[in-house]
Every structure is written in C-alpha cells, then in structure tokens.
Structure 1
Amino acid sequence: MNRIPMRSVGDLAVLSVLSLLAVAGYETSFGDADFLLAAIGGLIVGTAAAVVGTLFRLGVLTTVLVGFAAYFLLGTPFTMPDQGILVVLPSLASLAGLALGAVYGWADIVTIGTPVEAPYYVAAVPYVATWVVSLVGGMLALRWLPSRRSPLRAAVLLIGPVVLYISGILLGTDEAYLAAVRGIAFAVIALVWLAWRRSGTIETAGTPDRRLAVRRLGGASAVVAGAVAVGAVAGLAWAPAASDRFVLRDEVVPPFDAREFPSPLAGFRNYTKDLVEEPVFTVSGLEPGDQIRLASMDAYSGRLWTVAGPEEAADGGYAIVGETLPQPSLADLGSERTIEVDVLAYDDVWVPTVGYGERLRLLDADTAARAGDLRYSADTGTAVLTSGLGEGAHYELTARMQREPDDDALVDVPVANVDLPSVQNVPDVVTAKAEEYVGDAASAIEQIRAIEQGLKTNGFLSHGLASDAVASRAGHGADRLIELFTRSEMVGDEEQYAAAMALMVREHLGYPARVVMGFAPEISEGQDEVEVLGGDVTAWVEVPFEGVGWVSFRPTPDQVDVPQEQTPKPKSEPQPQVRQPPRNESVEDDLLSTVEIDDTDDDDRDRPFQIPGWVWVLAGSIGIPLAIVFLPMLVVSLIKASRRKRRLAAGADRSAAGAWDELVDRYAELGFEPPTIGSRRQIAAALERQAVEQGLADPARQLAPLAVDVDDDVFSGAQVADETVERRWSEADAAAAAIASAAGGIRRFVSRYRLSRRARATRRAERRAGRRDAR
C-alpha cells in the first residue's frame, strides 16, 4: 500500500478549497446554500476515489471505474435523499436521477426559473461538477505532479477549479454571488500556492544559498499581493452591470411553448353548457371576492386570444420551476393566501391558481411524480402541467394577492410600458366602438373605465343555452366580434365581452391589455371549502399601471332580458298525407346462428404471467448497484484471463517464462512493488524483502527457487518439455495462491480490480536505460 506525502495532502486541500469557492457561484441559480451539500459530497467522493486508487496502486482506468461506482453508490444522500432507501441507500429512482442529472441537468438548469428546485435530479449538477474536478485533479495531484514538481504542472491543476468557476457564472443569473470576495479569495489562494510550489522546487533543487529561496518566495508574495490589489480595484471600477452580465439562461429560450395547447378561452362554452352544474374542483382557503385564475392570454390572431410564445412573452414565457415560484416584475402584492385544491371533473393542462404564487406543492403521488412537467409564468401568475391535470390531483398553493387601488388613486398613474405581441386582424367596428365609448375621457383609468361601462351598460348576457331568451353564438374571432357590435342588441357572455374590451384598449388606446380566464365562485365569510362548478367560469381584462401592477376590469353586463325583435312568423301550409307501407318485423331464424363471444383480453391471453412492478423496482435497486460494483471486476478478470491464455500459448521456454511473469503480476496486483528492471532472482529477492516487512515471509520463500528453475529453462538452450511447462505453471499458481491467502481478504478483493502494467513499464524503463547508455 502506497503512502501519500504531506505535500500531496496540501495539494488536495488547496484543490478542494478552490473548488468550493468556484461552485459557490451556483447559489444564484439555486437560491440558497442547500446545493452545497451536493457539491461537498462530490468533492468527498471524487477525492476519496483518487486517494483509494493511489493507496492501493490501482491503474488509471480502474481508479476511474471505482470513481464511477462511488458516484452512484454514495451520491443519493448528497443529492436526492428523499428518493433513497432509508435516505442513504440508492434506489432505482435515485440512480436514474444521478445519471439523468449528469447528462440533462446542465440544459435544465438554464431553462428552469430560479430558484431551481425541479426536476428532482437537478441537484446532481453541482455534485457531478465537483466530482469530476476532484477525481481528475486528485489523480493528477497524487500521481502526475509528484513525478516532477514544477509550477507549470501545478498550474495545470488549476484548470479544473477555473472551469468550475466559469460554469458558476454561465449557469447563474444576472446577479453575481459575492463576486469580489470569491474572486479575490480564489486568486490569492491560487497564486500563493503556485509561489509555494515555486519555492519548494528551488529548495528541492538543492540551491546552496537558502536566502535566495527566501528572497524569491518573498518576491512572489509581493507580486501576489500587488496582483490582488490591482485586481480588486479594477474589478470594482470596471465590473459589468447586471444587465451586461453574460449568462446562458439569457441566451436559451425555454423549450415550452404554450401555443402547443388549445386556447383556454376557446373552450369557454364547454363549461357553461356541459359542466354548468358539475363540480370541477374544490378549493379551501379562499376569502370572499377571490377569483381563481386559469390562464392569461395576450396574443390575438383574428381567430383566437392565445398565450404568447416564449419568443414573444415579456418574461420569456413559462419556465420549469420547483416548489418555490418566481415573483412578478410588476405587482403590488398584499395579503397572503394558502389554498388547497382537489381536482374533480376538471381535465386540462392549466393549473388553477389565485393571486401570484410563492410556493406550489404537489401533494398526490401521481402528480408529484410528474413535477418536472410543471411550468410557471411569473408575470401572468399562471401555471401549466404539460402532462395534464386530472381527477384526483391535489396540490397546495401559497400566494399573495394583487392590491387594486380605487380609481381616484389611479387618475394620475400612467399605464405601464409592457411589451406584448401585436394584435392582428382587428375589425374596424371594434375601434369605432372604442372611440365612441371613450368620448372626452382624459386619464388612462377614465378611458379604460369608459370602455368597460360602455360594454356593460349597452350589452346583454347570454351563454347560448336553450333557456336563454336570445341565442348567443360561441367564439371570439373577428366575425363573432363584428356580429356582437352590428346586431340590433349586443348579446354574448364573458368570452365575447372580455375579448372585445382587450382589443379596444390595445388597438384604440394603445395600452397593453390581456384577457384572463378563470372562475368566480360564490364564497361566504368563514367558508372553509368551496365547490367550484363549471358554471362559475368567467373572463376579465387586465391592464398594467406603473408601480401598481395589473388592474382587473369586468366588462360583462349583468342584464339578461334582451328585448325581443318583432319578426313575423311564416305561415305553415298543410301537406298531403302519404300512407306508409307496413313494417316487416319477421326475421328468418334459419339465417341466424349463435356466436359465442370471448371477452378475455388479448393481452391477458398472450401474457399468462406478469411480473409485478415492485419486483422490477427491487431488482433495479439491488441489481444496478451490484452491476456497478462487479462489472468492472468482470472486465478486469476477462483481461487477466486473456493475458494468461496468451502466455500459455507461447513457445515452450517463453511459456515457462510466462509462468514467472504471471506470478510477478499477481504479486503486483496484491500491492507489492516489483522492480521494473532486474533479473528474476533480483525481483524474487525484492519481493521477499517486501513480504518480510509485511509479515508474509513464509509464502514468499517459494519465489527464489522458482526464479532459479525458470532461468534454467530459459537460458539452458535445451528444448523445454511440456511436462516442465505445466509444472512451472502449477508452481506459480501455488505460490500466487499462497501469498494471496496470506495477504488477507481485503487485498484479495482489491486485487480483482487491479490490472498490472508491469510489462509495459519494464519496456519503458529498458528504453530509458538504453538511451542513457547511448549517451
């Protein structure tokens, strides 16, 4: 077993500290320091794998395989303890999450709204980042750096932490996390370490004047201090503003496009006709006057009001979120609500909410398993579950309500400048009616109220039901709005009036406006749970005011008694009656035959036995960790078997020598250090000395006689008999088994992962020796 020098321990410590400073930049994405547990876990696991590989003299490939095994076996408690078995043991879900996070987490983290809390595997991103840096950096510090200690090689070790530092910037947000403090600390530690490495190199070189080394170390320290001072001043003077900071999330368009789903407003009449008396969901925690928000639509094509695409939305559209929801950029928030929703007959992708959400928890198992499908738009306060929200879903929402001041307080408040997609194909009659309703109104709030009152007082309400006095056609396309304003009486429901008012405000006044669809159930004071019916569906208009937020307007009239148009009824003319032929009820019995129908499901007939799901989960939870542990062992065993077969198949004298090489390789794989250059007797003596030091003298005494016999076989010049070759291999196998038995179970187990590269090292050493002799 190798020993790790204290200088290398110091290198590992510096590497770990720099990595922690670098990964701290992820704080702006995750919103708190919880991700540090995963980052520290990655450092521990990666460094431990590098140390184990060095202590037990494992090859680079074997060390990497050990690192992979440790990554999966030990990563669960650091990244996703909720998915583990008893928190610490890996499960099928946690193993899959560690794999998915390493591959897809990097893309998810720049499309998820901050703070990043979903999907469940996203914590694997800082874990795998620090794991890679510590594993690769640890192997370089323990294997490559000690062979030639130079500042240039030490600088190579800094590449990993520097890349990690840059990733913290690119994956973060516009707001940097302790940028000056972290940057200065990183630079000081890195430069001082390089200076210490430089001084250590001078001292190792044996310079006679130690004062020169001290002088150089002092000079290096002065340079470091100067560089830090200049960097600090320059950083404070020329640090980019938050808006100029380059981060990947500003360059990546979220993959979700709400236009892939039908416009919610297009299905308005489905609630007023088919689900009017049907409970769609129940809500607890509401207060009188609260309205449930379903979707906000801010784009009009001439056919439909729809949700803007991600390239048109002011806030970038709907982003993946966790339990914590991002806050709106424009809102004056007041009282808090905590509601619980149980979904009944409702079946759509839009998640019913109130106000502007702060935290959303999916409580039922089925919906919680699809938490990665949740998207949220902070500025509209609406959420989408792309896989659909159906019966049985249960969730809890904590939100704050928008304060809406009275009109007197808004007289001098301008409408906020919010970029919305332009409306298209707006009928001229809509603009003409808006001009008529606005009249001489001066302020923005007075103009918008004038349009609202004009629709409310001049129109009539009708959902197009059979019980309504006048028919009302569904839809809110250009043709339907023309019909709304050109009939003798305006007749429609919330769908038409909200669509018309939003277009009036947008097209005539030039103010941003959007249509919101939701539910307005009747809520009594102190009522704990409210049953929301399909007939409670409604729609309204929202317009943003500077410093206030989106103020709601409800243009739908309350009056339903539409004046009847006096139209003459056509007279009916009697038609001659025609005698119908008699109906033949007879059926020929002999044309009918009895058919037996087999109700058995075809899938059940094809699959007489089905393996329960829990068996697959158990098999995966146990089988995958076992595969991680034993598959590398199997690969190494196959390589060793191929090596042994190749040596056995060589010529007689070479096969006898191969028996000795096989024995020496077995010693090396048990942790001994055979000389790369030397005769068989010298190698036997060196291995015997090491065995005596480790208390394994008796098994090693078989080496010297076997070395003498193999030398005689190789150098005698006589043909080596097959019986002799077999005897040499039997003696070598017996000697290898004896030393393996004496070494103990742990060393035998580790040796199964080791693959001796002694032959290759011997050839390299002989070539170096030949070059030295030539010089």
Structure 2
Amino acid sequence: MTAARPAAPAPAAPSRLAGTVTATQLVDLGVLAALCLLAVAGYETSFGGMDFLLAAVGGLVVGTGAALLGSLLRLGVLNTVLLALAAYFLLGTPFAMPGQGIAVVLPSLDSLAGLAIGAVYGWADLVTIAAPVEAPYYVAAVPYVATWLVSLVGGLLVLRWLPARRTVLRAAVLLIGPVLLYISGILLGTDEAFLAAVRGVAFGALALLWLAWRRSTGIEQGGADGRTLLRRAGGAAAVVGGAVVVGTVAGLAFAPTAAERFVLRDEIVPPFDAREFSSPLAGFRSYTKDLAEEPVLRVRGMQPGDVLRLASMDAYTGRLFTVAGPESAVDGGYAIVGETLPKPTLAELGSERHLEVESLAYHDVWLPTIGYGSQLRLIDDGTAGRAGDLRYNADAGTAVLTSGFQAGGSYALDARIQVQPDPDALADVPVARLELPPVDQLPDVVAAKAEEYAGDEESAIGRIRAIETGLKTNGFLSHGLASDSVASRAGHGADRLIELFTRSQMVGDEEQYAAAMALMVRQLGYPARVVMGFAPEVQEGAEEVEVRGEDVTAWVEVPFEGIGWVSFRPTPDQVDVPQEQTPRPKSEPQPQVRQPPRNESTDDELLTTVEIDDTEDEKRDHPFEVPAWVWVLAGSLGIPLAVVLLPLLFVTLAKRRRRARRLRERPDRSSAGAWDELVDRYAELGLEPPERATRRQTALALAGQSGEQGLAGAESLAALAAAVDRDVFEGRELDEEVATQRWTEADAVAAAATAAAGRVRRIVSRYRYSRRRKRGRRR
C-alpha cells in the first residue's frame, strides 16, 4: 500500500513558540511588570527610601528576560527555569549588591553568597531588623528575588499557557503573582503605609483596564462588529471608572490607622535576648579595682560634661539589676539595625555629637554610646565585617555587638544629647507612665527609706529629688579598696542594700546608690532605670580623651511626659567616713608564741580572679574546624555549579535509561526503538517532529527542517524509516543482528546531525529530554 504524501507538518504545540513573540504578549508582559513595580513599592517603609527599586527592577528584567529567551530558543519549562536560575546569580550583583561585586558588575564570592542567603533568610531579617533596614547586606536580595520569581512565572504563563485559550479568566490568573507581591509589601513593611491609596487605586485600575482590553481582544478575534466592540469597550471603561471612584472613597474612609495596621514585624519578637549576657552592673568593681589606672577606651569628639553609657537596666531580680527580656521590654527591645539607627519615642534632643570610639582594654558586648544615636558605623577590620551582629535599643540609647567589642575595634557614632531641664521646669510635669518589669524581693528597709526621704513633698519631681538628696547627703563613697578607710562590699543584691541602710553609716559606691535610688523611686510608683557608663574628665577643646577604669559610673533615669528620661545622681561626694568610737578592751598578758611569717600581700592582691585556660580542652573537643572562608567558597562556587551540572547529570541519566529500555526489547520492537531514539535526538536538537505521522512522513518532515537549518544526515532518514517499517510490519521473526544494525544506522544519522549543529545548539540539546509517546502507527 502506497503511503500518502504527507501534509504540511503540524503546527507546534501551544507550549512552544515558533521563535517569535506577538505584540499582544509584549503588552501582557509590560502590564505585568508595571503591576509588580506598584506592588513592590510597598517595601519603601522597610528600606526607608527607594534605593531598593534598583534591585526590584533588576529582578523584573532578569525574570522576564529569561522567560523570553527560553521561548525564543524553544527551551522546555525546566530548562527555562534553569536558565533563569543561572541568570539570577550571574546578573544579580549589579542590581542587588553592587558594593560586594568586582568592579560593581561582576559577581564575587560575597555577592553570590549574599544572593543565595538573602533569598532564604532575607525575609526573616526584614521583619526583625529595625527600619530602615540597611544590614546585613544580603537583605537587598529580597525585592530582587521577589520580582524575579513573579516575573518569571508570569512570563512563562503569558508565553506558553495563555495563548492556548485567550479568555479573561485565564488572564486573571496572571494577577495572582502581583497581588501576592503587593500583600508581601504590606506584611513586611511597617505601621506607616507608603502611598497606600494611590498605589491601591492605580493597581486596581490598571488590572481592570488590562482585563477589559483582553476581553475586547477576544471579542474582536471572535468576529464581532465594530458597534458591538465600541459598546462593550464603553461599558468596560464605565465599570473601571466606577471601580476607581468607589475604591478611592472606600480607601480613604476605611483605611486602617497605623496602630491597627497588621504587619509581621509587630507580631514577631526580636530574637535577641539581653539576658543571655551578664549584667554590666555586676562587673562594676572590676573597673574600679582591676582597671582603675588602665585606659580602656579612646574617644574623639566628646565635650566637657559628656557621659558615655553602656547599658540601661530596668529589671531587678533580687540579686542584681539587668536588662529586661524582649517579652517584657516596653521599649521594643534590641533589634537588628544597619548604619541608620531608629529614633527614640520619648526624648527631647539637643546638641549633636560625632564620636569615634576605639577599644584599648575594653572587651564586652555593650558598645559605649552617648545620648541617642542616629548613625553607627563599624570602621575597623576587627568589627566592620560583623555589622549583622549589631543590635540597638532606640528608647534606651544603647547598642550591643553580639559577637563582642574587643581591643582594637572601633566605630563612628552620630548622636544627639538628651536635654536635661531645670528642676523648677519639671514642677508641673507628670512622670511618664511606663509598665516596667515588676521588682522581685524588694527589701522592707528600702521601701521604708523611700517614704522617709520623700517626706511631705507633693510633686513627682520633688519626691524624686528628695530621695536623691537624702542618699547624697547621708551616705559616704567607698570603692572597697584597701586604701579606703571603711570597707565597702561589692554587689547590689537585696542583702547588700539591707546592709547599706542598716549599718551605722551608709557606705558604698555608684553601684549601690544608683540601685537603691531606682528601687526607692519604683516603690513610690514611678518608673526608673539604672544606667551604667563612663564619665571621663574632658578638657575644653580636647580632640580626644582616654577613658580609664576609674571613670566608671552609674546613675538613675526617670521618664517625664514630653521631655524624656531625666538623669539623677545620688552617689555622695564625701569619702571621709567617720570612725566608730568603741572602748578599747583591757589587755591581758598572753604567753609568747612563735608567730608565722608575715604575708605582705594586701587584701586586693589576695582577692584575685582565677582564670582557667581551657584552650587545650577546646582543641581536644574540636580537633579539626573548617574555616569560614572554605564554607563561603564552597557555597559560592557550589551553587552555580550545581545549577549548571546537576540538571545535566539528571538529563544524561534519563537518556541512558531511555536508550537501555529500548535496547532490551525484542528485536522488532528494538528496531522501532532505534527509530524513536533518532527522532528524540532530532527533537532535542530543536527540530519539531510531527505529533501524529507515519515514520516516512516524519522522515520527510525532519528532512525538510534539516535542510532549512543545515543539518547533515537528512538523506538517510527516508531509507532508515522504510527499513524500520519492514522490520516491524513484515510479520517475520527478526534477528537480533538486524536490530543492532538499525541502532548503528540511527546512531550514525544522529551523530551526523549533531556534528553539523552549532556549539550552542549541541550544548542546549544536552539539557533537553524528549520521549516518543507510544501511539498507533499508520502504515
């Protein structure tokens, strides 16, 4: 039976384009990009500006470009996604993190690692870092990966899925990605919305107009007359206009206030807990005894009267004052910050300061600050790489470097000083009502002394000043040194404060007096906190000052409405403690005994801290530790290599499995499998075999395409197709040698076609996987 002359090859399936993109599809991609930009603009409140738009636009360009290029090259969906992943890493550096790139545009190990880490962890950092978000550097990958993903998926739908049936319902599916992006801008933002009404109305209007245009395009293709088109277009425009008006009025009338706005950062507790570190006040005596004459800090930019603060402590456990945990901190706790620091909610700020702080012998997690900071930049090699470890409490004005601020580290701080009003100006100002953590184990004597010192004062400032004056005039200063006339025990637990008030004379230093005053003020019902810091003597015109351990100090702060936290200093100035006069007992003769050798060591020398060197134990526990740069290098190189090589490995294994399965068939089916393998090889080179055709029709179609594209081996296709048809349909038992010969002939034709194809085409074919479906063949 003579085979009929085949018709023209069947058109490509809807999932593939014939290497072209229509004007309608370009309009769809443009609308999708515009909606994404309107949606991602909501990130402005988190980043504090529009600089992130560069990363967002870059994500749109890379994602849409990958979808277009995959369609033009006739790549499958999987290969297009792999192409988009490679473009994400190779092209993302100038858009998302140019500061980490080589010559701004070329990817580096840091930028590649940032693009990978930011896509996974950047979302969590965006809701835990205080706005404006500036660190860690990889957080800029969040808008980049968001727009990249939405534009890639949307582009694939526009170019491959939407052309199958151009309906309004299918077009509406494309809006899911931009809508989710819009919602993410709300959830990852702050209480303050960014042009919410304008962006919402513009987003809705553009989406409705696009859907109306898509509907009119479908009507026009269906053959409607001009009058019908005009009438329906006018009706759509009226609906869109009405929706815009209603949306504008409703948005202005029912928009939630900042306090009612739901954002994730208000629901997530910051991960940092200051209670993980020891209270600075517990180590007060180590400065006055061990580091009294040793320079611990070098500070440039201080003015006479300035005081550095280390930490503000508002929780008392009965043993010590410490920083409250994040679940009870009324000031929001410590949040991750970039160089720009958030503003305090309660403070009257005055003059500005620009400090440069360098650690000499200081080593702790608490960064010395002044006033309330506006910018903090780690500038030394020892700290600059740890910007992501920086936490800041805006209302306390204190900062923490969780990895530790060690000797040699330095940073620059811009700040403004809290105005300290005249006491007379606070006579009619109420104390701010703040819910501080409850006090545990308050000694009765402290509560009694609070009422005694406050006396008959009626105003809040009068009662607080009375307590400050009572402590300052009735007590004496002693740091517990051997040179002091009266011993003074360290600590500020309940037992030590009881001792402070029950001895014949009040003796202590800033640690005890500040703790006692804060508890006494809290007993009166006012919020108060203890602040520890340094008060060096600064000469007029001095460019820098060395802060010594003896400059350590502590004071009390109480908040007043509309003014801020006002400082009080209850520590006495007088150090001459009166000696108690006790009668000397009458001496009695004692037998002479040999005395032991005299120990010349003083008490301070005997009371030394025993330090155990556990370095060797740590080395035994961890005999081998991989350096961090090895992990960064492995991740930076491994991710791109995995993106490129793993798909190639999977496709190669699948092709081998396909070939082995066809070879294992009985001889006649194995011969047919050789033909199917050849057709699959041609399809993987980019040719389009007919979906339903005989082998001879398929051979003619492939020969025609091969001639157009300059591929060799086409002249052998018809002969091989005829030979395989004889093997399959003659009805005789086929020898295995014949089947092997068909495989040899098919491999030769495929090898000739592959060799004639270009290098790029051969590389792309290795990532493609085609498989002939088992259909009934026509004779």
Q: What is the TM-score with the length of structure 1 in the denominator?
A: 0.91
Which residue of structure 1 lines up, in the alignment, with residue 725 of structure 2? Answer: 711
RMSD: 2.5
Residue 666 of structure 1 deviates from its aligned partner by 1.6
- Which amino acid in the other structure matches residue 179 of structure 2? V
> Structure 1 vs Structure 2: percent identity of aligned residues?
71
Residue 102 of structure 2 corresponds to residue 94 of structure 1 = no
Secondary structure of the residue that 1:370 maps to in structure 2?
A: helix
Q: Give yes or no for the alignment of 1:748 onto 2:777.
A: no
Change (3 A) 1:400 1:527: same
Match of 1:406 in 2: 422
Distance 1:163 1:398 in 2: 39
Specify every segment of 5 or more residues in structure 1 that has no aligned partner in the other structure, as ranges: 581-599, 770-775
Within 5 Å, which residues of 2 pair with 1:514-525?
514-525=529-540
Match of 1:475 among 476, 488, 491: 491
Residue 643 of structure 1 is matched in structure 2 by: 658
Q: Please point out which of 629, 645, 654 is paired with 2:669.
A: 654
Aligned length: 740
Residue equivalent to 1:259 = 275
Which one of 272, 275, 289 corresponds to residue 288 of structure 2? 272
Q: Which deviates the most, 633-642 or 154-163?
A: 633-642
Secondary structure at the aligned position of 1:69 is classed as helix
Q: What are the superposed Cα offsets for residues 86-136 of structure 1, whole Å, 9 maximum, x if unpaired?
A: 333333333332222222222221111111112222112112211221111
Q: Provide, for residues 401-435 of structure 1, a one-character-per-residue CA deviation record: whole Å limited to 9, x for no partner.
A: 11112123222222222222222322222232222
What SS class does the counterpart of residue 78 from structure 1 fall into? helix
Return the match for 1:124 from 141, 144, 150: 141
Given that 1:58 and 1:753 are in contact with CA atoms closer than 8 Å, whether structure 2 keeps it comes out as no
Q: Which residue of 220, 230, 237 corresponds with 1:203?
A: 220
Does residue 487 of the first structure (1) align with residue 508 of the second (2)? no
Opposite residue 238 of structure 1, the aligned amino acid is F
SS state of the match for residue 338, structure 1? strand
Shift, 1:756, TM fit = 1.8
- Check the 8 A contact 1:90/1:621 in 2, yes or no: no
Q: Indicate the residue corresponding to 2:752 in structure 1.
A: 738
Q: What's the CA shift string for 1:461-503, capped at 9, x where partnerless?
A: 0000101110011111122112111211111000011111111
Aligned match for 1:386, one of 402, 414, 436: 402
Going from structure 1 to structure 2, the CA distance change for 1:80 and 1:569 (only over 3 Å counts) comes to farther
Equivalent residue number for residue 588 of structure 1 = none
1:242 to 258, 274, 278: 258
Structure 1 residues 468 and 232: CA distance shift in structure 2, 3 A: same
CA–CA separation in structure 2 for the residues paired with 1:22 and 1:414: 45
> Is residue 78 from structure 1 mapped to residue 95 from structure 2 by the alignment?
yes
Q: Which residue of 1 aligns with 2:440?
A: 424
Q: Which residue of 2 aligns with 1:773?
A: none
SS in 2 for 1:256: coil
Q: Sort the Cα spacing of 1:700 and 1:540 in 2 relative to 1 into closer, same or farther, 3 A.
A: same
Cα distance change of structure 1 residues 569 and 149 upon mapping to structure 2, 3 Å threshold:
farther
Q: Once the 2 structures are TM-superposed, how far is the Cα of residue 64 of structure 1 from its aligned partner? A: 2.1
Counterpart AA for 1:344: L
Equivalent position amino acid for 1:704 in 2: A
- The answer to which of 213-222 and 242-251 deviates more is 213-222
Match of 1:365 in 2: 381
The one-letter code of the counterpart of 2:756 is A
Partner of 1:228: 244
Q: Secondary structure at the match of 2:382?
A: helix
> Partner of 1:213: helix, strand, or coil?
helix
* More displaced 10-residue stretch of structure 1: 62-71 or 25-34: 62-71
* The 10-residue stretch of structure 1 (568-577 or 408-417) with the greater mean CA deviation from structure 2: 568-577
Quote the offset at 1:623 in angstroms: 4.9
Match of 1:149 in 2: 166
| CA distance, structure 2, for counterparts of residue 479 and residue 338 of structure 1 | 42
**Partner Cα distance (2:663, 2:554) in 1:** 85
User: Is the Cα contact below 8 Å between 2:380 and 2:409 reproduced in 1?
Assistant: yes
Q: 1:319 aligns with which of 307, 320, 335?
A: 335
The AA in structure 2 aligned to 1:496 is: Q
Conserved in 2, the CA contact under 8 Å of 1:455 and 1:556? yes
Which residue number in structure 2 is paired with residue 594 of structure 1? none
- The amino acid across from 2:642 in the alignment is A
Is 1:466 aligned to 2:482, yes or no? yes
Q: Summarize deviations over 1:522-561 as a string: whole Å, max 9, x none.
A: 1111211211111111001111122111111111111100
Question: Contact conserved, 2:300 with 2:357, CA < 8 A, in 1?
Answer: yes
Q: Which residue of 2 aligns with 1:114?
A: 131
Q: Which residue of 2 aligns with 1:173?
A: 190
Aligned counterpart for 1:32 among listed residues 46, 49, 72: 49
SS, match of residue 329 in structure 2: coil
SS at match of 2:383: helix
Q: Give the CA deviation at 1:616.
A: 7.2
1:27 and 1:33 in contact (8 A); partners too: yes
Question: Which secondary structure does the structure 2 equivalent of 1:123 belong to?
Answer: helix
| Contact map agreement 2:64 2:152 (CA 8 A) in 1 | yes
Q: Which moved more, 1:120-129 or 1:424-433?
A: 424-433
- 2:13 maps to what in 1? none
TM-fit CA distance, 1:213: 2.5
What secondary structure is seen at the aligned counterpart in 2 of 1:541? strand
User: Counterparts of 1:602-641 in structure 2 under 5 Å?
Assistant: 621-641=636-656
Structure 1 residue matching 2:501: 3-state secondary structure: helix
Higher mean C-alpha deviation, range 352-361 or range 197-206 = 197-206
Decide whether aligned partners of structure 1 residues 434 and 602 sit closer, same or farther in structure 2, where only a CA change above 3 A counts.
Answer: closer
Which residue does 1:104 correspond to in 2? Answer: 121
User: Distance between the aligned counterparts of 2:243 and 2:120, measured in 1?
Assistant: 38
The reply to whether residue 158 of structure 1 matches residue 172 of structure 2 is no
Instruction: Give how far 1:321 is off.
Output: 0.9
What residue number does 2:86 align with? 69
Paired AA for residue 654 in structure 1 = R
Are 2:711 and 2:756, in contact at CA under 8 Å, matched by a contact in 1?
no
| d(CA) in 2 for partners of 1:575, 1:324 | 76
Which segment is superposed worse, 483-492 or 118-127? Answer: 118-127
* Partner Cα separation in structure 1 for residue 184 and residue 638 of structure 2: 34
Give the drift of 1:726.
2.8
| Cα distance in 1 for residues equivalent to 2:770 and 2:297 | 67
Q: 1:479 to 1:579 in 2, by over 3 A?
A: closer
CA shift at 1:68, angstroms?
2.2
- Answering whether residue 364 of structure 2 is matched by residue 348 of structure 1, we say yes
Are residues 125 and 579 of structure 1, via their aligned partners in 2, closer, same or farther at CA, if it must alter by over 3 Å?
A: closer
Q: Helix, strand or coil for the counterpart of 2:106?
A: coil
In 1, are the aligned partners of 2:113 and 2:636 still within 8 Å (CA)? no
* Residue 57 of structure 1 pairs with residue 74 of structure 2: yes
Which residue of 496, 503, 513 corresponds with 2:519? 503
The residue that corresponds to 1:452 in the other structure is 468
Q: Is the 8 A contact 1:28 1:173 kept in 2?
A: yes
2:42–2:189: 8 Å Cα contact kept in structure 1? yes
Measure the CA separation in 2 of the matches of 1:603 and 1:313: 39
